[in-house]
Amino acid sequence: MLKMLKVVRCHRLLQSIPLCQTFQPRCSFTAQEASAALRPFYFVVHPDLFGQHPNERTVNENSLKLLNEYLAGHATKGQNEAKEVVFFVRSHTDTGKALKQVKIYLSTSNLRETVIAILAACGLSSSHVPHTSTFYGTDRPIDWHPSYYAATGKTNPNVKQATKPIALTLRFWLKMNIEKSRKHEKSVKHIRDDVDKLLQKLQTDLGVEDIRFDSVWGFHHFRGCLKSFDRLYNDHPEFLQFALKGRRLVFSNNTGVSRLGEIVLSSEDVPQTWVTLLQSVNAYDAVLARLPKMESKLSSLLNNICVVRLEKQHCHVMAGGYELLLNKILNSLRRCQDYVILTFGNRDLSSLQLVVEGESSPLMLSSFGQFLIPASVPGTLVVEFIQENIDKALNI
């Protein structure tokens, strides 16, 4: 009898919860995901691409503002007023590559479908748009009273069970994640295939030594960069061949010519910014030729210490910036050559390695025994630090 009363009490408790609060539709496709999915579209309609067409440029600028307001409305209010916007894109089907007007209806009902419609209107692929589903539920999990579990005989998840913890081994971890890894690999196989085809095409067309991706973004982003660069090649084939033949091309987080001589293009820049760099890329050859000579001079000022370059993942040191760092530390050491001779004498330091770092980096000895020297440190402090840590560096 007592058990039946408890069940009736739980049933009445469920009936007292408002239906509108319990079952509310939630859409998992956010405004941030929409902005990321529209990145190829931004490359196509960016106003910087329409410098020779001021009227169309103005139309695209105003339409982008309306689109951003539409996305911002979804991010804050979850709803927005439906509107129609107009964009101009380049028509690659015509021989004259004329501009084509595209009308896009910004719907309020389904943000994901609106994003797909925008991409389709401009002839862009929507395969990278994540799939979403609408689900129903509350904002928080239901915390049942212990009497509910006592009446129904179900296990109370809030009560700790006396279970023996499973030892986490490599074999156990692989067993738990191998199927997940296979599914993920299968889901991105078509993207990898597209990337391989685009890489092979661009390497053949441009005559570059290598094209690689060094960014925190994934394969979707790499494919978008390659497609944008392929469209840029279709517009300026001879110019890109002249600028990139025999060089290495890297898509990363910034734009410039690295100290290794690689042409680094930011995956977040518009193609017009890439063109601006490529127009002056040959001017960096003189800078690249000076860097080894400056490193050799730095080595001679510190008793033949070995000057090396420490390359970090997703971080490229540009040739011009590295030249400024070398010039600064060279001037600092030239002013204290008497102190260098007094400290080291004729001792050969060629077995030690020195890395010139940025001005905000710390003065330290790395775990590999390399002296990491910021260019802003006075020469006397550099000499003292090396002298104090020579034995430690040699023993690492």
Residue 211 pLDDT: 95
CA–CA separation, 135 vs 113, rounded Å? 17
In this predicted structure, the answer to whether residue 75 has a pLDDT above a threshold of 80 is no
145 and 6 in a common domain: yes
Structural domain includes residue 235: yes
Task: Note whether 316 and 363 are same-domain residues.
Answer: yes
- Whether residue 115 sits in one domain with residue 39: yes
Check whether residue 36 and residue 123 sit in a common domain: yes
Alpha-carbon torsion 76, 79, 85, 90, what sign? positive
Q: Give the per-residue pLDDT at 19.
A: 41
pLDDT at 21 over 70: no
Indicate the pLDDT class of residue 77, thresholds 50, 70 and 90. low
Among 4-18, 86-100, 238-252, 352-366, the minimum mean pLDDT is found in 4-18
Predicted confidence band at 136 (pLDDT cuts at 50, 70, 90)?
Answer: very low
16 compared with 310, residue with greater pLDDT: 310
Regarding beta strands 364-365 and 370-374, do their DSSP bridges make them parallel or antiparallel, or are they unpaired?
antiparallel
Residue 311 sits in the same domain as residue 372: yes
Decide if 24 is inside a domain: no
pLDDT band of residue 23 (cuts 50, 70, 90) is: very low
- Provide mean pLDDT across the span 239-258: 94
Residue 60 has pLDDT above 70, yes or no: yes
Same domain, 13 and 145: yes
Instruction: For residue 230, name the pLDDT band (cuts at 50, 70, 90).
Output: very high
Assigned domain for 163 exists:
no
Query: What is the predicted pLDDT for the residue at 25?
Result: 47
Please tell me which residue, 249 or 103, carries the higher pLDDT value. Answer: 249
Of the candidates 13, 58, 20, the one whose C-alpha atom is nearest the C-alpha of residue 139 is 20
320 contacts 284 by C-beta, under 8 angstroms: yes
Burial code (b: 16+ CB inside 10 Å, e: under 16) for 290-319 equals ebeebbeebbebbbebebeeeeeeeebbbb
- Over pLDDT 70: what percentage of the chain? 85
Asked if residue 388 and residue 292 are part of one domain, the reply reads yes
Burial 12-25 (b: 16+ CB within 10 A, else e): eeeeeeeeeeeeee
In the DSSP assignment, the letter for residue 90 is: E
pLDDT score of 46 more than 50: yes
Same domain, 265 and 367: no
Residue 170 domain-assigned (yes or no)? no
What range defines the domain where residue 363 resides? 285-395
Tell me the pLDDT band of 17, cut-offs 50, 70 and 90. Answer: very low
What's the per-residue H, E or C state across 323-382?
Answer: HHHHHHHHHHHHCCHHHHHHHHCCCCCCCCEEEEECCCCCCEECCCCEEEEECCCCHHHH
The reply to whether 253 falls in a domain is yes
Per-residue confidence (pLDDT) for residue 18, from 0 to 100: 45
Angle CA(214)–CA(131)–CA(187) in degrees, nearest 5? 55
Q: What is the DSSP string of 153-204?
A: ----TTSPP--PPPP--HHHHHHHHHHHHHHHHHHTHHHHHHHHHHHHHHHH
> Are the C-beta atoms of 162 and 194 separated by less than 8 Å?
no
Least confident of 18-27, 100-109, 124-133: 18-27
pLDDT at 336: 94
Q: Which of 242, 244, 241, 196 is nearest to 222 (CA)?
A: 196
**Is residue 387 located within the same domain as residue 291?**
yes
CA 190 – CA 261 distance, rounded (Å): 32
In a domain, 171, yes or no: no
> How many domains is the chain partitioned into structurally?
4
Question: What pLDDT is attached to residue 22?
Answer: 41
Per-residue pLDDT, 8: 43
As a 3-state breakdown, the chain gives helix, strand, coil percent values, each rounded to 5, of 55, 15, 35
- The per-residue pLDDT of the chain, averaged, comes to 84
> Could you identify the residue written with the tokens 């006397």?
380
Residues 297 and 330 occupy one common structural domain: yes
Residue 257, pLDDT > 90, answer yes
Per residue in 191-203, pLDDT (tens digit) is 999 999 999 999 9
pLDDT in tens, 267-325: 888 999 999 999 999 999 999 999 999 999 999 999 999 999 988 888 899 999 999 99
1 pLDDT more than 50: no
pLDDT at 229 over 80: yes
Distance, C-alpha 212 to centroid of its chain: 14
* Count of helix runs (H) and strand runs (E) in the chain: 16, 12
Instruction: Name which of 136, 146, 156, 26 is nearest 78 in CA terms.
Output: 26
SS3 state at 110: coil
Amino acid at site 196: D
Domain boundary among 129, 144, 172: 129
Select from 265, 323, 320 the least CA-distant residue to 292. Answer: 323
Residue 178 in any domain: the answer is no
Residue 217 has a pLDDT of 82
What per-residue confidence (pLDDT) applies to 386? 96
Asked whether residue 166 is assigned to any structural domain, the reply reads no
- Clarify whether residues 6 and 148 are in a common domain: yes
pLDDT digits (tens, 9 = 90+) for 61-74: 988 888 888 888 77
- Do 274 and 300 fall within a single domain? no
